Amino acid sequence: KKVLFSGIKPSGELTLGNYLGAIKNWVKLQDEYESYFCVVDLHAITVRQEPKDLRARTLQILATYIASGIDPDKCTLFIQSHVPAHSEAQWLLNCFTYMGELSRMTQYKDKSQKLGESISAGLFNYPVLMAADILLYNTDLVPVGKDQKQHLELARDIAIRFNNLYSPTFKVPEAYIPEAGAKIMDLQNPEKKMSKSEDNPNGYILINDSPDVIRKKISRAVTDSIGVVNYSDEQPGIKNLINIIAAITGRKPEDIVKDYEGQGYAKLKQDVAEIVVEELRPIQERINQIMSDKAYLESIYRKGAEKANYVANKTLRKMQRKIGFIQL
């Protein structure tokens, strides 16, 4: 079987963007691939996190994976910091990555702009950790949202560079970016992607938002004054709402548009809200169940750490050997 790796960082509560851009596709791919799904806590601390929130969210994300339909018997579910090879491999790969490459990462440019003076070296460096995450598992496929495309290309470049300098060591991974749901936009600013670390809660829908909150946020979503439902870049707010329906139902945007001929935005918003509420309802119920059983969660991440450590250490040793370190 080919190998699949992906992860989400516990830097905030999970949004509909994380669900539609990432998790929902993982569920579809898990039978076809040998899958690793990680909670990437090392990535979360590139910006300050409250320790107790970080702990709670890490488990919450693990529970959300399972509640969304990831089968822990088929897949390896683990917490990144339980596998020290990620940090070690990152150091090694750091020495094969150029400052220039990292400076060109648009996500770094965006996030650092917001932070002003307090940009950590980790934030600059994080795409290298992401490359380590992926390359350690001989990954073939990385299902991510569109925002991660550039980081994945960097991971490929690093892998190719290392392979050329020494000898074939890493599998060169491919990105898998879903057709619908690849980039869910912020409801208050549809020019910007929906993010869990965004300040204005009206911009995002959380997987755990209550039905009423979901309805309220969608009814307040920013649209335009055109007043006709079209799937067009001139109407980014409406386009985003149609994309949400498309990603959940699997229908084509053009077909969805036809449903709203001669209707205003209110009906579209109402429908989007109900579709989202119904999609998330069973997941929310299962998250609550799973979160109330900490022993079960622990058994999952312990088993996952064992498997992940085994595979990751093998790759790490291979890297060390090729570089010229004395093996112990």
Q: Which residues are annotated as a binding site for L-tryptophan?
A: 133
- For position 17 contacting ligand ATP by CB under 6 A, the verdict is yes
Q: Residue 69 has which token pair?
A: 């339909």
Instruction: Give Cα separations from 241 to 63, 99, 198, 246, 313 (angstroms).
Output: 27, 38, 19, 9, 44
**23: number of Cβ within 10 Å:** 23
Window of 30-38, 125-133, 181-189, 205-213 that interacts with ligand ATP by CB under 6 A = 181-189
- Is there a catalytic annotation at residue 28? no
Q: How far is the CB of 128 from ligand ATP (least distance, A)?
A: 15
- Is there a catalytic annotation at residue 193? yes
- For position 35 contacting ligand ATP by CB under 6 A, the verdict is no
Q: Which residues contact 69 (CB under 8 A, 6 or more apart)?
A: 27
| Residue selected from 125, 150, 197, 208 as contacting ligand ATP according to rule CB under 6 A | 197
The amino acid occupying position 72 is P
- For position 145 contacting ligand ATP by CB under 6 A, the verdict is yes
Q: In what order do the strands lie in the sheet with 174-176?
A: 76-79, 34-39, 3-8, 141-143, 174-176
Among 28, 52, 196, 294, the one annotated catalytic:
196
- Is there a catalytic annotation at residue 111? yes
Q: How far is the CB of 228 from ligand ATP (least distance, A)?
A: 25
Identify the helix (H) or strand (E) that includes residue 3. strand 3-8
- For position 9 contacting ligand ATP by CB under 6 A, the verdict is yes
Identify the helix (H) or strand (E) that includes residue 143. strand 141-143
| Residue selected from 11, 76, 223, 240 as contacting ligand ATP according to rule CB under 6 A | 11
The amino acid occupying position 146 is K
Question: Using CA atoms, how far apart are residues 204 and 188, in angstroms rounded to an integer?
Answer: 8
Residue ranges at the known binding site = 9-11, 17-18, 133, 145-147, 184, 193-197
Question: Using CA atoms, how far apart are residues 291 and 303, in angstroms rounded to an integer?
Answer: 18
| Residue selected from 58, 60, 195, 243 as contacting ligand ATP according to rule CB under 6 A | 195
- For position 148 contacting ligand ATP by CB under 6 A, the verdict is yes
- For position 22 contacting ligand ATP by CB under 6 A, the verdict is yes
Beta strands in 170-211 (DSSP E): 174-176
**Length of the chain in residues, anyone?**
328
Nearer to ligand ATP, 22 or 319 (CB): 22
Residues involved in catalysis = 111, 193, 196
* Residues forming the site for ligand ATP (CB under 6 A): 8-9, 11-12, 15, 17-18, 20-22, 144-145, 147-148, 181-184, 193-197
